Amino acid sequence: MDFTLKINQCIEVLQNGGLILYPTDTVWGIGCDATNERAVIKVLDLKGIESKGLICLVSNDAMLERYVEKVPDLAYDILDLATKPTTIVYDTSKGLAPNLLARDNSVAIRVASDKFCKYLIGKFKKPIVATTANISGSRTPRNFKEIDKAILTGVDYVVNLEPEIQNAVPSSIIKLGMDGLVKVIRE
C-alpha cells in the first residue's frame, strides 16, 4: 500500500472521529483529531485514563500559532536548538478539544519532525493527538511488536509503515510559562 493511500485512509478515519495507530516522530502513538472532543474521549477510554492532558502534533510553526494563544519567543529558540523531538507545554490554547488540555488548561504540543506525520497533519489541516500506544500504567512500547492487543483492536486504522526511527524514545517535554518560567518535565 503506498504512502498517499495510507495518508488518505488516516484522514478519512480522523474526519469521522476515529482513532489511528501510527508511527510518530518518537514512539508509536494513538491519534485522533485534536479538535474533536468525542474522539479524544475514545482515546482516553482506550488508554484507561482520565484527561490529564495529551500531547498533540502540528505540522509547522504556522499551525502551532493557530492553536496556541501566545507562543513565547523562547519556544522557537528551543525548537531550533533541540537535538531530539521536543514537546512544549503552553499556558493557553485555542480551538482544541477541552478534554485534551491539562487540569490547568495548558496544552502540550510538538511540531512533527518526520515525513509521515508532517504530511498527514498538513493534509488534515488540524492537530492530531499523539499519545503513547499503551494502556495506562504499562510500559511505553519501543516498537510495533510491543503494542498491546487491546490497543491494536481498539483503533479504527493501523498505519502499516515502519517508523523513521526504530526503538525511539518519547520526546523531551518542556513547560514554558508566559511569566518566563521554564521547567523541564522530561528530558
The CA distance from 111 to 114, in Å, is 10
Side-chain-facing half-sphere of 80: CA atoms under 13 Å? 5
Contact 108, 173 (CB under 8 A): yes
Residue type, 43: V
Asked whether the predicted pLDDT for residue 6 surpasses 60, the reply is yes
How far the first Cα of the chain sits from its last, in Å, is 36
pTM confidence score:
0.90
pLDDT on residue 164: 53
State the amino acid at position 45 in one-letter form: D
Q: How far apart are CA 172 and CA 184, in angstroms?
A: 8
Per-residue model confidence (pLDDT) at position 161: 75
CATH code of the domain containing 70: 3.90.870.10
- Looking at residue 173, its pLDDT comes to 74
How buried is residue 115: exposed, middle or buried, by Cβ count under 10 Å (0-12/13-18/19+)? exposed
CA distances from 111 to 41, 66, 151 (A): 23, 13, 24
Q: Where are the beta strands (DSSP E) in 105-145?
A: 107-111, 128-129, 131-132
Provide the grid cell at 135. Answer: 494502556
Q: What is the mean pLDDT of the chain?
A: 89
Burial class (CB in 10 A: 0-12, 13-18, 19+), 104: exposed
Domain enclosing residue 59, as ranges = 3-186
The rounded distance, in Å, linking the Cα atoms of 129 and 149 is: 20
Model pLDDT for residues 55-95, shown as the tens digit of each residue: 999 999 999 999 999 999 888 988 888 888 889 999 999 99
Look at the chain and report how many structural domains it folds into: 1
What are the pLDDT digits (tens) for 124-173?
A: 999 999 999 999 889 888 788 889 999 999 999 999 876 555 546 667 77
